[in-house]
Amino acid sequence: MENTIVILRLKHLKFLLIASLSLNLFAAIFFAKKLYVKYNASIETIEKKSDTTTTYWLKRNQLFEVLPKDKNTIVFLGNSLTQHFELAELFKNLNIRNRGINGDVIPAVIKRLSPITESCPKKIFIEIGINDLGRGAPKDTVIKNYEKLLERLQTECGSTRLFVQSIFPVANKSKTMAEYCSPKLNADIKFINQHLKEYSSLHDITFLDFHDSFVTDGELNPKFSVDGVHLTGEAYLLWTELLKPYVND
Amino acid sequence: MENTIVILRLKHLKFLLIASLSLNLFAAIFFAKKLYVKYNASIETIEKKSDTTTTYWLKRNQLFEVLPKDKNTIVFLGNSLTQHFELAELFKNLNIRNRGINGDVIPAVIKRLSPITESCPKKIFIEIGINDLGRGAPKDTVIKNYEKLLERLQTECGSTRLFVQSIFPVANKSKTMAEYCSPKLNADIKFINQHLKEYSSLHDITFLDFHDSFVTDGELNPKFSVDGVHLTGEAYLLWTELLKPYVND
């Protein structure tokens, strides 16, 4: 009798175990799939693919490609800081062209130069690099890519006046943009800016050193940012004032 | 002897079962947490909170608040379709102000009217509603909110000329914007547009019926969109041409 009970219990346990293990298998497959997607997404966001596969980038670049090409324009080339810059409104200048794309990195900017170099503009103001650093590119890679970008522009548009803007400081800490905000990143930014300054002076490029105007206590002044990276309206007004002599001359 | 083996197997099975059930408990907690986050996120994106809590919205609205207020301006008020419209460049008009915010819904637009009504502009072109529908707002709610927006504008800026633009068609199917693309959504868009047309004619508002210029076979012409909702450069050129008589007059 006791034996039968033990065997019955064994049967029940077996059944439960099979059910439970099946659930385990299901969960394991789910987690494996998630990990796989995450791994692939992280590859996607790395410089190699340069974001040029995201529909956001494609949409915006496709617009740039068909917008009428004019000579005598002033092109602002960059990432979200440029894209959110209401340039024509702030400079009251119809020759300005906003060519910023949210989240853009230097290799992706290099890939979208042709609509700009097709009819070389009068001036190009560049603001780029923070997304490269935020996504883990070493500072030497950022510098190498930046030089590649400037070489391309100088080769294809010899008459265009180039303005390299210092990379903006970031907060030392941020909740929403944690990867972009640390004292190490601020140190890298200063290092790259110093290098860009030297490179510019050797290559007939105007380096616009606005970095310190936005700094307080070694990081981005809190009044100039909502999230530690992106700029407030007040910061855009200051940026406009700093740029005016170079845009209008 | 046999009994002892059975009891031993029972012990092993029990141990396995406990381990397996623990894993399942862990997975269940994980899924419950995910569901909770998803549920809260979906609440967050619903009209009630109107996206005004996202840092993206806050950043962009904060910029609008500090940008210099001018009279005699032409304001374009809307969502991503407006934000990506390089208005000053395409219209060669310095009086134009881009007041589009990616992903914006009507209740959120109502919350950010003060920087616009503070110095009533000459004209306001409105393009809004697709995100409300895409996030599941019933068409009657969209209409009710749209009327509330127009009432506010007419009460606070009696002298401003209002232009209501028909909601653009969408694709009947889309991989990246599935919630925004279906024959049902296209039918809702037509229903709302018809209502806005009637409301406009009764309230001294100009209704700009561009919908059909972007349609082929009852859906957004594929050549005008990358993802079934957002517009290509070619679509922006057409939109510009359709708007020119009303912007320039």
Q: What is the pLDDT of residue A44?
A: 38
- Superfamily name with CATH number, domain B55-248: SGNH hydrolase (3.40.50.1110)
Residue A200 has what DSSP assignment? H
Q: Is the pLDDT at B5 greater than 90, yes or no?
A: no
User: Is the distance from CB of B58 to CB of B102 less than 8 angstroms?
Assistant: no
User: H or E stretch including B77?
Assistant: strand B74-78
Q: Which residues of A touch B63 (CB under 8 A)?
A: 84, 86, 232-233, 236
Do A59 and B232 count as a contact with CB atoms less than 8 A apart? yes
Nearest one of B46, B35, A117 to A99, comparing CA atoms: A117
The contacts of residue B61 (CB under 8 Å, 6+ apart) are B52, B101, B112, B115
Verify whether the Cβ–Cβ distance B64 to A233 is below 8 Å. Answer: yes
Return the bridge partners of A225, or none: A231
Nearest Cα neighbor of A168 from A195, A140, A198, A208 is A208
**A22: which residues sit within 8 A by CB, 6+ positions away?**
none
At B99-143, the pLDDT tens digits run 999 999 999 999 999 999 999 999 999 999 999 999 999 999 999
CATH match of A70-248 with 3.40.50.1110: yes
**Which residue is listed with tokens 């070489």?**
A151
Phi, psi of A123 (to 5 degrees): -140, 150
In this complex, do A67 and B89 lie within 8 Å of one another by their Cβ atoms? Answer: yes
The domain spans of chain A are 70-248
Residues of chain A with pLDDT under 70: 1-3, 35-53
A242 — phi, psi (to 5°)?
-65, -35
Q: What is the pLDDT of residue B215?
A: 97
Q: Closest Cα to residue B186, out of B130, B236, B103? A: B130
pLDDT of residue B56: 85
Alpha-carbon distance of B168 to B239, in angstroms, equals 11
- The verdict on A226 touching B (C-beta cutoff 8 Å) is yes
Instruction: Give the minimum alpha-carbon distance from A39 to chain B in angstroms, rounded to a whole number.
Output: 19
Give the ipTM: 0.77
Contacts of A240 in chain B (CB under 8 A): none
Residue B99 forms contact with A (CB below 8 Å): no
CB-neighbour burial class of residue B185 (10 A; exposed 0-12, middle 13-18, buried 19+): buried
Cβ count within 10 A of residue B58: 15
Min Cα distance B235 → chain A (Å) is: 9
Check pLDDT > 90 for residue B198: yes
Closest CA to B79 of B48, B53, B42, B108: B108
pLDDT at B16: 86
Rounded Cα distance, A54 and A65, in Å: 16
How many other β-carbons are positioned within 10 Å of the β-carbon of residue A204? 9
- Given this model, what pLDDT does residue A216 score? 96
Contact (CB, 8 A) for A144 and A183:
no
Tell me the shortest Cα–Cα distance from B233 to chain A, in angstroms.
Answer: 4
